[in-house]
Structure 1
């Protein structure tokens, strides 16, 4: 059914425990910040609302909390490229090293080691973020090409399920960009743009097994995330109980935030560990096929931009 070992992925999580702990600290730190600033905003709004009637107090409490939540979420969004640089790419780097049988330092030294690898391959955080955005754009095109092929198959009733299938495929490729970054790291190429191009071509020419495995993993990830959400309703209820005013509707939002933190810190790296196994297995011994490179260049301006940056990097 799938081409990865759950036991091996769990083993990778254990071996990269320093990064797992780092992720837990960062993502739960973000969650706590969201709760504190939201609570502060709600408290300020509640204080302002004391000058009016019950309806005004409820409204000002709600908008105070919403402003606090939005402000914190905006800050996190602004620094998302640094999260990619410090956490996601670094974690992928040490996973790749372990899959290749290398011995790495433990503790904080593992994080420092990974950050050195990422800096050597990608340079600044802004460059890695730009590369990641281009990769995501090409992945969407590959998924679209596959959707197009499926839509012309002579299967009765296929058109009625294509909408659901299309949405699921888009969801299933959510972590593939990290797999392409892993390819760029594994090849140890001095030209990350060219390595990413090659990785995308390899992904495209193996899209079917990659998407089948991604679909299974997406199912696992969202089932686990939903279970975590149910578990997190209890602590979310406690937080909401401590907030001023009638804030019971916020409980679901906080439960989602708690579940997001667990998903980002624990579930997603497990899924990446699985997909790394799949990619390395199905692409072993392969080289990028020129016909697929030409097809992607014709279909995706992002792929062409990657090529231009690769050439400029070489010329520079």
Structure 2
């Protein structure tokens, strides 16, 4: 079974309701931007198609207009990704870490300003946090292979297809590891984020089996809730589109998917992160990073080596700040 407390985790997420609302505004705003700009591009292309029949006609230009609108929003989001990580995700993690440890945090909208101060104190500029996040994501890709994947749980020969499928599920279940490590940085009150992240990655790897077990349970919960939300929103979305002109029935399916994604990003994702942080903090209590796991990660992951190099540069040149194995 899982090692996190469902009731306590829900309570933590609900106490951070300003961030839940903030995330909903951000992600529903992203959803609305995709819908409006894509539809506008398709409409402009459709109208232009009536004028330039030799350019593919209304349907052809309408399709290209929709693609152009979708691409435009994607490009804007690509440039805004650092801000979203810095303000929305890292800020929410900072507040949840303090609640997990029993500290008081401000209520209402003051919670967002408070979280931004905490994030700035630990990571400085948004660019630093973004670079750190990308290095962590690259480093943790090696962990699944190093712990043996699903073969560590069911070492049965002749199940290569099943093993391959379940290992892909395991990789998906590790989506939130970088957020957990950011939370560790904040919890340690570290001002050397690259150095502290190296320790956190090693600690995660040496507790990998327990962490993946809980991550798999959360992946199951996430998909069940997402399916329920999708089915609950499919009928209302279709009903709204029924009263709109044109052949838009298929968009009810698309809107339900987008709504489910936005809801998952606003509420389910913080729940998973809070649950895994509880497990992680409990598992690593009193542990020191294992030098053997440090070596394995260094051998297996270029990104982990880059993380160690940045850690060494930030603390004066030694590999991730101190001798491996020290706390």
Classify the TM-score, shorter chain: over 0.9
Q: Give CA deviations for 1:191-223 in whole Å, capped at 9, x if unaligned.
A: 100110111111000000000000010111122
Partner of 2:124: 123
Partner of 1:37: 37
Q: Does the CA contact (< 8 Å) of 2:234 and 2:256 recur in 1? A: yes
Residue 281 of structure 1 and its aligned partner are, at CA, apart by 1.3
Partner of 1:217: 218
Indicate how the Cα distance of structure 1 residues 98 and 277 shifts in structure 2: closer, same or farther if over 3 A, else same.
same
Partner of 1:12: 12
Partner of 1:296: 297
User: For the residues of structure 2 that align with 1:272 and 1:148, how far apart are their CA atoms?
Assistant: 21
User: For the residues of structure 2 that align with 1:243 and 1:261, how far apart are their CA atoms?
Assistant: 23
Partner of 1:88: 89
Q: Which SS does the other structure have where 1:212 is aligned?
A: helix
Residue 243 of structure 1 and its aligned partner are, at CA, apart by 7.0
Unpaired stretches in structure 2, ≥5 consecutive residues = 318-327
User: For the residues of structure 2 that align with 1:58 and 1:120, how far apart are their CA atoms?
Assistant: 53
Q: Does the CA contact (< 8 Å) of 1:121 and 1:190 recur in 2? A: yes
Q: Which SS does the other structure have where 1:156 is aligned?
A: coil
Q: Does the CA contact (< 8 Å) of 1:42 and 1:244 recur in 2? A: no
Partner of 1:255: 256
Partner of 2:324: none
Indicate how the Cα distance of structure 1 residues 244 and 123 shifts in structure 2: closer, same or farther if over 3 A, else same.
farther
Q: Give CA deviations for 1:152-188 in whole Å, capped at 9, x if unaligned.
A: 9751333231210121011100011100111111001
Residue 224 of structure 1 and its aligned partner are, at CA, apart by 1.3
Indicate how the Cα distance of structure 1 residues 220 and 168 shifts in structure 2: closer, same or farther if over 3 A, else same.
same
Residue 37 of structure 1 and its aligned partner are, at CA, apart by 1.1
Partner of 1:50: 50
Q: Give CA deviations for 1:3-26 in whole Å, capped at 9, x if unaligned.
A: 001101110011111111111111
Q: Does the CA contact (< 8 Å) of 2:133 and 2:178 recur in 1? A: yes
Aligned length: 315
Q: Does the CA contact (< 8 Å) of 1:9 and 1:270 recur in 2? A: yes
Partner of 2:22: 22
Indicate how the Cα distance of structure 1 residues 262 and 148 shifts in structure 2: closer, same or farther if over 3 A, else same.
closer
Residue 242 of structure 1 and its aligned partner are, at CA, apart by 7.3
User: For the residues of structure 2 that align with 1:291 and 1:310, how far apart are their CA atoms?
Assistant: 18
Q: Which moved more, 1:156-165 or 1:200-209?
A: 156-165
Q: Does the CA contact (< 8 Å) of 1:39 and 1:65 recur in 2? A: yes
Partner of 1:234: 235
Partner of 2:282: 281
Q: Which moved more, 1:75-84 or 1:226-235?
A: 226-235
User: For the residues of structure 2 that align with 1:70 and 1:57, how far apart are their CA atoms?
Assistant: 20
Q: Does the CA contact (< 8 Å) of 1:151 and 1:162 recur in 2? A: no
Q: How big is the alpha-carbon RMSD for the aligned residues of Structure 1 and Structure 2?
A: 2.2
Q: Which SS does the other structure have where 2:4 is aligned?
A: coil
